[in-house]
Amino acid sequence: MSEYGVEPKQESRPTAGPAERWRLGNWRLRSKLVAVLAVPLLLACALGAFRIAGSAQEAASLDAQVDRFTAGQQVALLIDALQRERAISATFVAAGRPADRAALDAATRAVDSASPAVTSGPVERLGSGLTDVTSAARVRIGDLAALRRAVIRTAFPPERVEATYTAVIDSVRALERGVLSPVQPSLVRPATDALLLADAKEEVQRQHAVLNAVLVGGPAPALADAARQVDAQLSGTLAELSTSALASTRERFAGTVAGTAVDGRERIAQQALVALALGRPVPPAAADWDAVSGQTADLIGRVATTAREDLVAAASALAGDARAAAVRDGLLVVALLALTMVLLVLVARSLLRPLRALRVSALEIAEHGLPERTERMVVVDGVAPSMDVEPIGVHTRDEIGEVARAFDAVHAAAVRLAAQQALLRHHVNDIFVNLSQRSQSLVSRQLQLIDWLERSEQDPVQLGELYRLDHLAARMRRNNENLLVLAGESPQRSGRVGPASLQDVAQAAVSEIEQYRRVNVGRAPDIAVVGPVAADLVHLLAELLDNATTYGPPGSLVALDVRLEPDGGIGIDVIDGGAGIEAAELATLNARLADPPPVDATVSRRMGLFVVGRLAQNHGIAVTLHPVPGGPGTRATVTLPSLLLSIDQVAAVPGVTRRIPAAVPEPRSPWPALVGGEGNHPAPGVPERAGT
C-alpha cells in the first residue's frame, strides 16, 4: 500500500508554556491596552488620593488647632484668676494679714473654679507635644494649697508670696504659649499678637501686685527690684506691640487701653518707682493704685480676649476651607477619574471594536469563507465564476481601517487567483479529457488490431505474445480512464450496460493488472451489480489489486474475497502480505478515501488513492483500509450497499472475456470462462484475448 502513502507529517507548533504566555509580545491587545491605560490611571488615583488625604489631614490638624485655641481661652481665664489671687495675697500679707479675708477667699474660689481647664482630663488633651508643660502646670497648681496656708498662717513675706505666685502663673502661661502655637503660617502673626497682649496683661498685673504690697506695707529691697524689673519688661512689651503687631491689633489696643484709669495708673507707678529709686517715702495712694491698675489690666485683658477669639475664628475659617478643599478635591478627582475612564473606554472601544470586527471577519474569511468559496469555484461553459468580494465592515479612516482595506484587496486577489485556478483546472481537465479520448481511440484501434492478429494467428507462442500485448493495452486503457477521473468525468466503456455478476466483476478486475497470476479469487455470491456501477467497480478493484501486487513482497499472493454482508450489502476484501501501514498513516489514508482531496500536484504520486476514492464517492461505495489481524499485510475492504445490487439478467462486463485456454502457454489465467465484451466473438477453436 505504499502508493497510498502521505507526505511526512509536519511538526505542530509547540504550545506556549506559562513563561511564554507572560511575555509581553504574547499578550492580547485588550490586555496591552489595559496595562498601558492602568498605569497612568493608577498614578492619577494615587495622586488624587494623596491630594485628598493631604487636604483632609490639614483640615483635621486645623480642627485640632481650633480645639487647642478654644482650650487656650479657658487657660487664659485661669491665668486671670491667678493674677488676681496673687495681687490680693501680696496685699493681704503686706497689710499684716488682717482678719477680713473675704476678698482673698473669693479670689481663691475663682482660681479653684477655673483650674479644671488645666487639671482635668488626660494630659494629651491640650496637645501631644505639650505633655511636659501640662504636667508641670498641674504640679504648680497642686502646690497652691501649701502656698495659701503659708499666706494665711505663717510669716511668709510679701515678696516671697509674689514670687511664688508668679512661678505658678509662669508655668500656666508656658502652657498657654504652647496651646497658642499655630500650625498654619497665616495664624502665626495673630497668635503672636495674642501672646504679646497676654504678656502685657501679666506685666501690668504683676506690677499691680508688687507696687500694691509696697504702697500698703512699705518698701522692701526685693519688692523694689521686682517693681523696676516689671516696669522694664512692660515697656519692652508695649514697644513691641506698637511696632510689630498687626495694624488691627494696634488700633484695637490704642482704642481700648486708654482713659483716666490708664493715665492714673501710669502716673502713680512713675511716682512710686521714682521714690523707690531715690529712697524717699512712697506716696500713700494704695487705694487709687489698686483701682486704676485693676481697670487697666481689665482693658488689656479685653483686647487679649478679642485677639484670642479672632484667632479661634480664623482657625475655624481655615479648617472649614480645608474641609471644603478636601471635599472639592475629592469631587474633582472623582470627576476627572470618571472623565478619564469614559475617555479611556471610548478610545479603547474605538480601537478594539473595529479591530475585533477585522479579526472576526479575517478569521472567518481565512478559515471558512475563502476555502469554501474556492472549493465551490466551478467554471460553467468556459466562464469563470464571480470574483466579487464583500468588504469587511470596518469603515474607519485610521490604521485599522487601512488594514481592513488592505485585507479586502488581499481577499479579492485570493478570489481572483482561485477563479483563475478554477479556470486553469477547467482547461487542464479539458486537456485530460481530450488526451484521454484520443488515447482511448488509439488504444481501441490497437486492441482491434491485436484482436485481428489473435484471430489469424495459429502459433501458440506468437499467440501468447499477442495476449501480453493485449494485456498491456488493457492497462493503458485503465490509465486513460484515470485521466478522465482526474478531469471529473466518468469513464464509459463500450458494450452493453446491464447487471454483471460479482464473479465476472472480480475476474475482470484481475484481468486488468500485470501480475494477475499472484491473485487468488474466491467464489463470489451469485449476485449481480447494476450496470452503471459494474465498469467503475472493475476499475476500482483493479486499482486496489494493482497496488497490492506492485508494492507487496515479490512472489506473495493477494487474496480477492467476496462475501455477503448481514445488512444485504456486499463486502469485497483485497488482502496483501506486505509490511503493513502504521496506524496514523492508515487513518490519514482512510480519511482521503472517504473524502478525496482536490486535484493537485500530489495526485500524480497517489493516483490510485485518488481514483479509488473518487469512483467510490460517485456511487456511495465505502473503501477502508485495515491491518491484517495476527500477521503482516493490509486489508482493503470495499463495501457495496444493497442499492447497487441487482437480480436482473446478468450482462457481460465490458472488457472481460472467457478464460484463456490451457493450450496457450503465456499468460495463464487463474479465472473461469467469462462472457466476451464489446460484441467481439472468437471463431471456433481460436483462443480469445485477455481484454478488449
How would you list the strands of the sheet with 634-640, edge to edge? Answer: 519-521, 558-564, 570-575, 634-640, 622-627
How would you list the strands of the sheet with 528-529, edge to edge? Answer: 500-501, 528-529, 645-646
Count the Cβ atoms, other than its own, within 10 Å of residue 450: 22
Question: Tell me, what DSSP letter sits at residue 155?
Answer: -
Cα four-point dihedral sign 44, 48, 49, 54: positive
Find the radius of gyration of the CA atoms of the chain: 62
Cβ contacts of 677 within 8 Å, gap of 6 or more? 493, 494, 495, 652, 653, 654, 655, 656, 657, 692
Question: Tell me, what DSSP letter sits at residue 601?
Answer: G
Alpha helices (H) along 365-398: 370-375
State what percent of residues in the chain have pLDDT above 90.
Answer: 17
On the question of pLDDT at 56 being above 80, the answer is yes
Express each pLDDT in 452-471 by its tens digit: 888 888 888 888 888 878 87
Question: Tell me, what DSSP letter sits at residue 383?
Answer: B
**Do 300 and 272 touch, CB atoms closer than 8 A?**
no
On the question of pLDDT at 17 being above 60, the answer is no
DSSP string for 453-466: HHHH---HHHHHHH
Report the pLDDT value the prediction gives residue 602, as an integer from 0 to 100: 63
Task: Give the residue-averaged pLDDT of 522-527.
Answer: 89
Q: For residues 245 and 159, what is the distance between their CA atoms, to the nearest angstrom?
A: 33
Instruction: Rounding to the nearest 10 degrees, give the CA dihedral for residues 371, 374, 376, 379.
Output: 180
Buried residues in 65-98 as b, exposed as e (16+ CB within 10 A)? bbbbbbbbbbbbbbbbbbbbbbbbbbbbbbeeee
The structure's pTM equals 0.52
Q: For residues 158 and 283, what is the distance between their CA atoms, to the nearest angstrom?
A: 19
Identify the top-confidence range among 29-38, 65-74, 165-174, 316-325.
165-174
- The set of cell numbers assigned to 121 is 482630663
Give which of 542, 533, 471, 543 is closest to 501, Cα–Cα.
533
* Helix or strand (DSSP H, E) at 563: strand 558-564
**Do 314 and 186 touch, CB atoms closer than 8 A?**
yes
On the question of pLDDT at 654 being above 70, the answer is no
On the question of pLDDT at 12 being above 60, the answer is no
**Do 315 and 272 touch, CB atoms closer than 8 A?**
no
Task: Give the residue-averaged pLDDT of 278-295.
Answer: 80
Task: Give the residue-averaged pLDDT of 131-159.
Answer: 89
| CB burial of residue 189 (10 Å; 0-12, 13-18, 19+) | middle
In the three-class reduction of DSSP (H, G, I as helix; E, B as strand; rest coil), residue 558 is classed as: strand
More confident residue, 29 or 634: 634
More confident residue, 569 or 681: 569
Place 281 in a pLDDT band, splitting at 50, 70 and 90. Answer: confident
The DSSP bridge pattern shows strands 528-529 and 634-640 to be: unpaired
Q: For residues 342 and 336, what is the distance between their CA atoms, to the nearest angstrom?
A: 10
The residue behind cell 500698703 is: 216
**Do 358 and 396 touch, CB atoms closer than 8 A?**
no
State what percent of residues in the chain have pLDDT above 70.
Answer: 84
On the question of pLDDT at 231 being above 50, the answer is yes
**Do 192 and 310 touch, CB atoms closer than 8 A?**
no
Give which of 251, 239, 258 is closest to 300, Cα–Cα.
258
Distances in whole angstroms, Cα of residue 465 to Cα of each of 453, 454, 515, 605: 11, 10, 15, 31
Report the pLDDT value the prediction gives residue 380, as an integer from 0 to 100: 62
On the question of pLDDT at 406 being above 70, the answer is yes
DSSP string for 6-17: PPPPPPPPPPP-
Cβ contacts of 578 within 8 Å, gap of 6 or more? 1, 2, 548, 551, 552, 553, 556, 632, 633, 634
Distances in whole angstroms, Cα of residue 602 to Cα of each of 4, 168, 487, 608, 681: 11, 114, 15, 12, 42
In the three-class reduction of DSSP (H, G, I as helix; E, B as strand; rest coil), residue 582 is classed as: coil
Express each pLDDT in 190-215 by its tens digit: 889 999 999 999 999 988 888 888 88
Q: For residues 154 and 602, what is the distance between their CA atoms, to the nearest angstrom?
A: 132
The residue behind cell 488625604 is: 53
Give which of 620, 511, 645, 513 is closest to 567, Cα–Cα.
645
DSSP string for 569-580: -EEEEEE--S--
| CB burial of residue 183 (10 Å; 0-12, 13-18, 19+) | middle
- The set of cell numbers assigned to 252 is 484695637
Place 164 in a pLDDT band, splitting at 50, 70 and 90. Answer: very high
- The set of cell numbers assigned to 218 is 512699705
Cα atoms found within 13 Å of the Cα of residue 138, Cβ hemisphere only: 16
In one letter, which amino acid is 171?
A: S
- Directed axis angle between helix 247-256 and helix 188-217, to 10°? 30
On the question of pLDDT at 396 being above 50, the answer is yes
Task: Give the residue-averaged pLDDT of 372-381.
Answer: 71
On the question of pLDDT at 592 being above 80, the answer is yes
Count the Cβ atoms, other than its own, within 10 Å of residue 375: 11
The residue behind cell 455477503 is: 564
Phi/psi for 570 (5° steps) reads: -120, 135
The residue behind cell 503687631 is: 245
Q: What average pLDDT is seen over the chain?
A: 80
Report the pLDDT value the prediction gives residue 556, as an integer from 0 to 100: 87
Give which of 273, 316, 268 is closest to 292, Cα–Cα.
268
On the question of pLDDT at 496 being above 70, the answer is no
Q: For residues 451 and 448, what is the distance between their CA atoms, to the nearest angstrom?
A: 5
The total number of residues shown for the chain amounts to 692
Express each pLDDT in 170-192 by its tens digit: 999 998 888 888 767 888 888 89
Place 517 in a pLDDT band, splitting at 50, 70 and 90. Answer: confident
Q: For residues 55 and 463, what is the distance between their CA atoms, to the nearest angstrom?
A: 118
On the question of pLDDT at 669 being above 60, the answer is no
On the question of pLDDT at 162 being above 50, the answer is yes
Identify the top-confidence range among 45-59, 543-557, 594-608.
543-557
In the three-class reduction of DSSP (H, G, I as helix; E, B as strand; rest coil), residue 624 is classed as: strand
Express each pLDDT in 531-574 by its tens digit: 878 888 998 999 899 888 888 788 889 999 999 999 889 999 99
**Do 567 and 644 touch, CB atoms closer than 8 A?**
no
- The set of cell numbers assigned to 686 is 481460436
Q: For residues 479 and 49, what is the distance between their CA atoms, to the nearest angstrom?
A: 85
The residue behind cell 506473495 is: 556
* Helix or strand (DSSP H, E) at 414: helix 399-456
More confident residue, 332 or 666: 332
